Amino acid sequence: MTDLLQQLRTAVGSANVLTEAADTAPYLTDWRKRYHGRAQAVVRPGSTAEVAAVVQACAAAGTPMVPQGGNTGLVGGGTPDERGNSVLLSLQRMNRIRALDPDNDTITVEAGCILQQVQQAARAADRLFPLSLAAEGSATIGGNLATNAGGTQVLRYGNARELTLGLEVVLPDGRVWDGLRGLRKDNTGYDLKQLFIGAEGTLGVITAATLRLHALPRVQRTALAALPSLQAATALLNQARAAASATLTAFEVMSDVCLRSVARELPQQRLPLAPDTAPWFALLELSDPDDEARASALLERLLGAALEEGLAVDAVIAQSLAEAQALWRLRESIPEAQAKAGGNVKHDIALPVSRVAEFVASTNAALAAQFPWIQPVVFGHLGDGNLHYNMQTKPGTPLATAFAHERAINEVVHPAVAARGGSISAEHGLGQLKRAENRRYKSEVELALMRSIKAALDPHGLMNPGKLL
């Protein structure tokens, strides 16, 4: 046994240092089964002090560390490389809710808390923790913050960054920074927590966070509308914003291809509108503090006007919580249906909302001209200008063809995004998948600033190497 393994066992107990292939395997492959890494060991600390001891031991040995939460990331950020010299640091055992302060509307949780656990703890105190995404039953707060996760409620509540007031971080040399402040105002220098949010574990290990809570809406009304075009979706979004203001809490879009994929791969899902009804569908959610009649009337008026003006061709409004949940399940099943179908070439892009429809029309056409077999599978958070602009193949062409052309497809998609002032990673991060590609779309000045920050915090490059930068 090496000295380092001995020190790790002393720090966290032998049962929490995994070295057998059967035990480490689930940690070494990503959710999409695209990346397969190796590690000296998987270490599962149970407290901040244990994380600090692990990091100190690894730093002294010059051993790279890869933080990991729920391992649901989509860009290979939590998977070590194939050299096998790193230690995978799993935060899953750090899953305690440390404090909930209803008067301050904050909750302080450890990084390994599952997102759903935090939502439930807030709800039990009659509060809302609004971060919500399809992987919420497995993803952890640490992973959510490290990727600055978005999800379905960003339109109203912002992404993980906007929901974070304070952080506790173990730095790459093993020191602990306690920045767990629950303040809305604090102008006492650089806002250090922002460095670690979205850093994908390259600057330190997040061990706890103080998160912002919101009032729990008493009433939620959900509808699915069938739309003739993406332009119509944008127009409907604007009308919904104008009419509902802050009570519009979600506006998601999905193409008919997405619904067909869910129907085919997950036949237990019921589709309230047939995929043939229209080329696009929008899922709208209104959340009202307490007035059911007001929310229902607003949604009916909005959809009635949309049908009259031709912005929608059909619509259903959920009549019960179960029906609303079924509509959300439909939307949230799209990634699972795609994974079951064998995956696709993914693009998680952000654009100004005003340019989304035109981007999709022109990029779909450019791709079809170059790759006649291509089948776009497009869905996402239209309210945030964030599309999952994914590519699979039409029936008759093997899926492998899409993967074989991934680079060429990216050569069409990413410049089109950049030309419209967009981003090649809206909410999933860069990880291993987009690390190199990102260099083409950031200025030298921006890259130099990022490298300076990395060098200042992690001069030996031990924290999640090969990711992001």
> In the beta sheet, which residues pair with residue 211?
107, 164
Give exposure, 345-370, as e/b (b: 16+ Cβ within 10 Å): bbbbbbbebebbbebbeebeeebeee
The minimum distance between CB 224 and ligand FAD, in angstroms, equals 18
Residue type, 181: R
Inter-residue contact 376 to 346 (CB < 8 Å): no
3-state secondary structure of 427: coil
Strands 176-179 and 164-170: antiparallel
3-state secondary structure of 323: helix
- For residue 144, what is the enclosing H or E element? helix 141-146
Q: Where do contacts with ligand FAD occur on this chain (CB under 6 A)?
A: 31, 66-74, 77-78, 91, 111, 133-135, 139-140, 142-144, 146-147, 149-151, 200-201, 205-206, 335, 427-428, 431, 464, 467
Backbone φ, ψ for residue 450 (5° rounding): -65, -40
The minimum distance between CB 154 and ligand FAD, in angstroms, equals 9
Looking at the Cβ atoms of 68 and 164, the one nearer to ligand FAD is: 68
Q: Show Cβ contacts of residue 87 under 8 Å, excluding neighbours closer than 6 positions.
A: 4, 8, 39, 40, 41, 42, 43, 54, 58, 63, 64, 65, 66
Structure tokens at 226: 């069938």
Looking at the Cβ atoms of 248 and 426, the one nearer to ligand FAD is: 426
The sheet that has 348-350: what strands, in order across it?
314-317, 219-227, 280-288, 248-255, 374-381, 386-393, 348-350
Looking at the Cβ atoms of 147 and 249, the one nearer to ligand FAD is: 147
Inter-residue contact 93 to 125 (CB < 8 Å): no
Looking at the Cβ atoms of 202 and 375, the one nearer to ligand FAD is: 202
Structure tokens at 192: 């250090």
Looking at the Cβ atoms of 67 and 383, the one nearer to ligand FAD is: 67
Looking at the Cβ atoms of 170 and 391, the one nearer to ligand FAD is: 170
* DSSP code string of 326-381: HHHHHHHTHHHHHHHTT--B--EEE--GGGHHHHHHHHHHHHHHH-TTEEEEEEEE
Looking at the Cβ atoms of 28 and 311, the one nearer to ligand FAD is: 28
Closest CB to ligand FAD: residue number: 143
The minimum distance between CB 326 and ligand FAD, in angstroms, equals 18
Inter-residue contact 212 to 122 (CB < 8 Å): no
Looking at the Cβ atoms of 71 and 344, the one nearer to ligand FAD is: 71
Looking at the Cβ atoms of 193 and 428, the one nearer to ligand FAD is: 428
Burial class (CB in 10 A: 0-12, 13-18, 19+), 240: buried
Looking at the Cβ atoms of 32 and 420, the one nearer to ligand FAD is: 32
The minimum distance between CB 381 and ligand FAD, in angstroms, equals 7
| DSSP 8-state assignment for residue 458 | -
Looking at the Cβ atoms of 201 and 385, the one nearer to ligand FAD is: 201
Report the 10 Å Cβ neighbour count for 97.
16
Looking at the Cβ atoms of 81 and 200, the one nearer to ligand FAD is: 200
Helix axes 356-370, 230-244, angle to 10 degrees: 160
What does each C-alpha distance from 41 to 57, 73, 94, 111, 460 come to in angstroms?
13, 20, 18, 20, 20
